[in-house]
Amino acid sequence: MACKITISPSDDGRRLDKVIRSVWPGLPLSVVMKGIRTGSVRLDGKKAKCDLRVAGGQELYVPWESPKESAGEFAFRRTLPLLFEDPRLWAVNKPVNLLVQPDRKDQDNVLDRVKYMLRLAGEEERAYAVHRLDRNTTGVILVALSGVTLRILQDAFRRREISKTYLAIVAGVPGKEGEIASPLLKDSASNTVRVDEEGKEALTRYRLLSGGGDISLVEIDLVTGRSHQARVHMASIGHPILGDIRYGTEEINGKWRKRGIRRPQLHSFSIRFGEMEGELADLSGRKITAPPAEDMDTLLRKRRWKLPG
């Protein structure tokens, strides 16, 4: 059943297709694009292109049922650990085996959990991923609560005014510190990435925190943000991330699988804001950290390795 909604002020300036996907996250992208292409999706009564920037207060007509009707009582009655919250953005600690955004209908994900938490608090259910983490990468992730905040934060990431630090347990003992500047090429069909001169520029810096002969704890700074960057770069220098089936070796992973390590030991440990301007100026210098997941924490404790300050 078709419905009409009024564009929220928090979506002012966002692309039409992105607004639709945020209101109806369970709709396949092909359905959204067909609706826009055929004109069954209309903005203020007119056909619109997918990349049109909408304005708060405009009327959006779609051929699908109301998001409230389609959501029922809410698909995912689960919450996430909150690391930081204010009216503009939240920082949550993403657990293992959870997507940031769904890739199919009725799939558990970070954004729907945040929306549920907002609903419980009586707030508007608006949540936008500022950046991504792989399904099995844990740790801090920023969620904007308005389109305006989303754009400011994404611009700040592009200008490298916000830095992310990862922790990883890798095979062997790399040098005390190093820099990996190898271009990365993604194969979308297989969802794999490899070092290739035809790929995009990628730069990773790492620092050895603790080493124990067979494995080590390293701190990783992704200067660029390519898909699977930390995993591919560390594997390329002979120190794959422990538990990484795709880019590691079965000889190492098989040994550690028997000890309970069943996913890549990669954790988004902290996010630090640089010199922010405008409405986010008060976040300048703030650092948000996330405690590691249980499997990584257990291994760190067994080795008596301490987290960086």
Where along the chain do the CATH 3.30.70.580 domains lie? 82-154
Of 17, 51, 86, 134, which is the active-site residue? 134
Token pair belonging to 206 = 């790492």
pLDDT at 296 over 70: yes
Instruction: Let me know how many helices (H) and strands (E) the chain has, helices first.
Output: 8, 16
Q: Which class is domain 82-154?
A: alpha beta
According to the model, what pLDDT value does residue 163 have?
93
According to the model, what pLDDT value does residue 69 have?
52
pLDDT at 12 over 90: no
185: Cβ contacts below 8 Å, ≥ 6 apart: 193, 194, 195, 196, 198, 199, 200
pLDDT at 180 over 50: yes
According to the model, what pLDDT value does residue 132 have?
92
Tens of pLDDT, residues 77-133:
577 899 999 999 999 999 998 999 887 777 889 998 898 888 877 788 899 999 999
According to the model, what pLDDT value does residue 10 have?
66
5: Cβ contacts below 8 Å, ≥ 6 apart: 23, 59, 60, 62, 66, 67
Stretch among 114-128, 184-198, 223-237, 241-255 having the lowest mean pLDDT:
114-128
Q: Mean pLDDT across the stretch 257-275?
A: 95
Tens of pLDDT, residues 238-265:
999 999 999 999 999 999 999 989 999 9
Q: Which class is domain 160-303?
A: alpha beta
Where along the chain do the CATH 3.10.290.10 domains lie? 3-71
Tens of pLDDT, residues 127-164:
999 999 999 999 999 999 999 999 999 999 999 999 99
3-71: what fold? 3.10.290
Tens of pLDDT, residues 32-84:
888 999 999 999 999 999 899 998 889 999 988 776 555 444 444 577 899 99
According to the model, what pLDDT value does residue 18 have?
85
According to the model, what pLDDT value does residue 56 have?
84
Please confirm, yes or no, whether 134 is among the known catalytic residues: yes
- Tell the burial category of 241 from Cβ atoms under 10 Å away from its Cβ (0-12, 13-18, 19+): buried
Where along the chain do the CATH 3.30.2350.10 domains lie? 160-303
According to the model, what pLDDT value does residue 77 have?
54
- Tell the burial category of 206 from Cβ atoms under 10 Å away from its Cβ (0-12, 13-18, 19+): buried
Residue among 207, 91, 227, 224 nearest 157 (CA) = 224
